[in-house]
A and B are shown apart, each in its own frame.
Chain A
C-alpha cells in the first residue's frame, strides 16, 4: 500500500493540505471536502492532530455493500456501488473518512501525494 504518514509535531495547522486536497480531488475550493483533517487542541496541550488514512482496510472490511476494494496501492470507494451509508466513516480508526452533505460518496484518501509535495512544514511524508 502507498501510505501518507503524519508527523503532527511539525504541523502548524494552516490547512493548506485540506484546501489543496479539495481542489486536486474534486476541482472545488473547499477544505471541508478533503480526505484529511487538521484538528487543533488549544489552549492546552497546544498541539495539532492530523487525521489521515493509513490504508488499513477496516472500511473495506466493514462496508455492507463491499463498495471499497483494494487495488495496487490503496483502498478505493466504488462510487457506483456505494450507498453513502456512512459506516466506513464511523469505523475508520484514523477518523479520516468523512461524509459531506453535498457529496454522494464519502471522502477517502487515494494517496495521490499532493499534500506530501506541498505541505509547508513537511508534516506529511510517504510512509
Chain B
C-alpha cells in the first residue's frame, strides 16, 4: 500500500522518549488514517479509568493517505483523544498545512502520551525530533506563540499551539495553527495543555509515496478543473462559510439569544456580504484548496466598555459561519466587525469560538433570568448585545478566574452546578455545546445532533440542507439520510480531505475513490469505503459505551428548550418537534443501525460489521 510511510511517531512526554512505530499494511488498509486510525488506536489503548487530562490519555494527530497530495483540499488532519469536555470519544479536525507537513516529514501520524515535567515544545524536522523547554512561551497567546516560533525556527515550519486556555485546562480549549485554523472542538487544547505541550512545529522535505504518480497528476488536474466548472466555484468561494448566514436566517435556524429564537434581524450586518464588502483582506486557503473558506480580515470599530468607550483594530482569519452564528447571533452582537474582534480575542486565548459562544450566551441568559447575580461578575452589568460582556466572559473562562472556573467546564456541568432550571437552556448534547443551526424546524438536523458521536456537532451530518430540500415537516427518509451522511463524512476524514468541495460545489464523489486508488494502489470501492465508515461510526459509539457508564438513549436526547419550547419568532415561528416524533426518529435510526432500543450496538451487529473485538465491552 502506498500513500503512507508506515511510520507513526510516538512520543512519551513523561520521559522525552520518541520512537517510530511500524504497523502492518492490513492495519492501514482497514483504517486508512486520521479519524479512523486515531479512533482505533484510542479505543485499543486508552483505559476506561483514564482521566482525559491525565497521563494515560493520548493525543493522536494525523491525516490520511491523501493528506498533502495533489487533490482538491487534501489538507485535513484530525486530533483524536478522550474528550475532557464530554468524557467520551473526540476527534477535532484541522485544515491549514500542518497535516500535509507531517506527511512530508515522513510520518503518517503523531501520538503524544504522558505528561512532560514542564512547559515543552516539540520540534519535528524530518527525522530529527527534539523536545525542549518552552517556559518562554508559556502564558503567551496563540498568535504571539506562533510568530515567535516562526521567527525562531523559520517560516517553513508549520506550527500548532495552544493559548492560555489550553494551559489552564479549560475544557473548550482549542489548538491553533497558521494564525487562524483551529482544531476547535471538544477540548483537544486542554489535552495538549495537560501534557504541558505548548506547541509543536513540523518541517518535512520528503516525497509522499504514490502508487501511480502519472495517474494522480491526471486525476488531480481533472478534479481541479471539475471544481472550476461548477457554479458554486464562483458563487460560494467569495464569502466562504459566512455566505450561509442569509440562508440559515431565511430558513429560521439561526441561533439567536442563546437559542431562544431562530431568526436574528441583525444578521444582515454580519453576513457574507458584510464580510466581503467591509473587512475582507485576502483569501487564506488550506493546502491545495480551490475554494478557500479562510477569509483573512481587517476590522476596526468602537464599543461600550465597562466604564468608557473602547476601540479595536484587528486582523483575524474569519469570522466563519459558526462564529458568526454562535458569537454573533447567539450573543446578539451588532456587526461583522464586532464578531471579528471577539473571534480574534477567543483565538488568541485559545478557546473554541463555537462552545465559547454557547457558554457566553448561556451565562448571559442566567444573568438575565436572575439565576446568576452581578456579584459573580465584579458587579458588572453583563447583557446580550454587549461586545464588552462577550470579551469579559471569554477572559474569565480562558483564565478560569472567578465563575470562569466553572464556566470553563462547559454548559452541561455549569448548569448542573448553577441550578435554577438553567439546564433547560444549556444547549448541548453529551456535554458538547450545539453548533450554529437550531433544529426545531429541521428533524434530520435534530437527529444528526442527537446521534453525532461527539455530541451536538453539525460536522458529522450537515442534514439541515436535506430537511429544507425534501421538506421540514417530513420525517420519513430522514434517519436514512443522516446515516448516509454520517458515513460519507468519515470517508473524507480517513483520507485527509476536506468535504466542502463535495458539499458546496458538488464535486463528484467518484473522484475521491479514483484518486485514493491512484495514491494507495489498493483498489478501494465506494461500498468498501462506506463499510469502513460504518465500522468507524460503531467503534466510536462503542468508545462511549466502554467509557461512559449509563450511556444510551437518554444521552442522545436534546436539551429541554429544544423539545419543549416552540420557536417564538421568525420563519420557523410556532415550530418544534414533538416528543413522539423525536422518539420515532430515534427508533428508526437505531433500527437501521442495528442498535437496540437503548441505542447500544448489538453483539450480532458488531460481529457483522467486523468489530468482534468490541463485543466484550458491551458488558
Is there contact, CB below 8 Å, between B290 and A120?
yes
- Find chain B residues with CB under 8 A from A47 CB: 282
Give Cα A29 to B214, complex, Å.
Answer: 10
- Find chain B residues with CB under 8 A from A43 CB: 143, 147, 179, 315
- Cross-interface CB contact of A121 among B104, B147, B283, cutoff 8 Å: B283
- Find chain B residues with CB under 8 A from A15 CB: 97, 287-288
Is there contact, CB below 8 Å, between B227 and A23?
no
Is there contact, CB below 8 Å, between B155 and A39?
yes
Given A23-B216, A46-B298, A13:B70 Cβ within 8 A: no
- Find chain B residues with CB under 8 A from A118 CB: 221, 224-225
B205 lies within 8 A of chain A by Cβ: yes
Interface residue count for A (Cβ, 8 Å)?
31
B217 lies within 8 A of chain A by Cβ: yes
- Find chain B residues with CB under 8 A from A29 CB: 68-70, 207-208, 210, 213, 216
B192-227 interface mask toward A, CB cutoff 8 Å, 1 = contact, 0 = none? 000000000000111110100110110011001101
Give Cα A44 to B216, complex, Å.
Answer: 36
User: What would 18 A/B residue contacts be, using CB atoms closer than 8 Å?
Assistant: A13-B284, A14-B285, A14-B288, A14-B292, A15-B97, A16-B70, A16-B287, A23-B220, A29-B207, A29-B208, A29-B213, A32-B206, A40-B178, A42-B179, A46-B298, A102-B206, A120-B224, A120-B289
Is there contact, CB below 8 Å, between B104 and A31?
yes
Q: Scan residues 81-118 of chain A and give those whose CB is less than 8 A from a CB of chain B.
A: 100-102, 118
Which residues from chain A sit less than 8 Å from chain B, CB to CB? 9, 12-16, 19-20, 23-24, 27-33, 39-40, 42-44, 46-48, 100-102, 118, 120-121
Is there contact, CB below 8 Å, between A23 and B228?
no
Which residues from chain B sit less than 8 Å from chain A, CB to CB? 68-70, 75, 97, 100, 104, 143, 147, 155, 178-179, 204-208, 210, 213-214, 216-217, 220-221, 224-225, 227-228, 281-292, 294, 296, 298, 315
- Find chain B residues with CB under 8 A from A100 CB: 205
Is there contact, CB below 8 Å, between B104 and A46?
no
Give Cα A30 to B204, complex, Å.
Answer: 10
Is there contact, CB below 8 Å, between A30 and B206?
yes
Given A14-B292, A32-B104, A46:B213 Cβ within 8 A: no
- Find chain A residues with CB under 8 A from B227 CB: 120
Give Cα A40 to B208, complex, Å.
Answer: 23
- Which residue of chain A has its CB nearest to the CB of B289? A14
Nearest Cβ on chain B to A111's Cβ, whole angstroms: 18
- Which residue of chain A has its CB nearest to the CB of B218? A23
- Find chain A residues with CB under 8 A from B69 CB: 19, 29
- Cross-interface CB contact of B282 among A12, A39, A120, cutoff 8 Å: A12
Give Cα A9 to B178, complex, Å.
Answer: 19
Give Cα A30 to B205, complex, Å.
Answer: 7
- Find chain B residues with CB under 8 A from A40 CB: 155, 178, 284
- Find chain A residues with CB under 8 A from B220 CB: 20, 23
Is there contact, CB below 8 Å, between A46 and B282?
yes
Q: Given contact pairs A29-B68, A120-B228, enumerate 18 new A-B contacts (beta carbons under 8 Å).
A: A12-B285, A13-B285, A14-B288, A16-B287, A16-B288, A20-B220, A28-B207, A30-B206, A40-B178, A40-B284, A42-B178, A43-B147, A43-B315, A102-B207, A118-B221, A120-B224, A120-B289, A120-B290
Is there contact, CB below 8 Å, between B205 and A102?
yes
Given A29-B208, A39-B155, A12:B284 Cβ within 8 A: yes
Is there contact, CB below 8 Å, between B289 and A19?
no
Give Cα A86 to B285, complex, Å.
Answer: 32
Is there contact, CB below 8 Å, between B97 and A20?
no
Is there contact, CB below 8 Å, between A24 and B298?
no
Nearest Cβ on chain A to B178's Cβ, whole angstroms: 7
- Find chain B residues with CB under 8 A from A102 CB: 205-207
Is there contact, CB below 8 Å, between B213 and A23?
yes
Give Cα A20 to B296, complex, Å.
Answer: 25
- Find chain A residues with CB under 8 A from B147 CB: 43
- Find chain B residues with CB under 8 A from A120 CB: 224, 227-228, 285, 289-291
Give Cα A24 to B290, complex, Å.
Answer: 19
- Find chain B residues with CB under 8 A from A121 CB: 283
Is there contact, CB below 8 Å, between B207 and A16?
no
Given A20-B70, A44-B315, A120-B224, A27:B287 Cβ within 8 A: no
Is there contact, CB below 8 Å, between A30 and B292?
no
- Which residue of chain A has its CB nearest to the CB of B281? A46
Give Cα A23 to B70, complex, Å.
Answer: 8
- Which residue of chain A has its CB nearest to the CB of B2? A29
- Cross-interface CB contact of A46 among B210, B285, B286, B315, cutoff 8 Å: B315
Is there contact, CB below 8 Å, between B205 and A16?
no
- From B143, B225, B228, B284, residue with most partner A Cβ within 10 Å: B284
Give Cα A12 to B228, complex, Å.
Answer: 15
7 closest residue pairs by CB, A with B: A12-B285, A14-B285, A120-B290, A12-B283, A16-B288, A30-B207, A28-B207
Give Cα A118 to B228, complex, Å.
Answer: 9
- Find chain A residues with CB under 8 A from B292 CB: 12, 14
Given A23-B217, A39-B155, A102-B205, A14:B143 Cβ within 8 A: no
- Find chain A residues with CB under 8 A from B100 CB: 31
- Find chain A residues with CB under 8 A from B213 CB: 23, 27-29
Is there contact, CB below 8 Å, between A30 and B104?
yes
Is there contact, CB below 8 Å, between B289 and A12?
yes
Is there contact, CB below 8 Å, between B143 and A19?
no
Give Cα A6 to B210, complex, Å.
Answer: 29
Nearest Cβ on chain A to B80's Cβ, whole angstroms: 25
- Find chain B residues with CB under 8 A from A16 CB: 70, 224, 287-290
Give Cα A32 to B100, complex, Å.
Answer: 12
- Which residue of chain B has its CB nearest to the CB of A48? B282
- Which residue of chain A has its CB nearest to the CB of B227? A120
- Cross-interface CB contact of A14 among B104, B217, B286, B315, cutoff 8 Å: B286
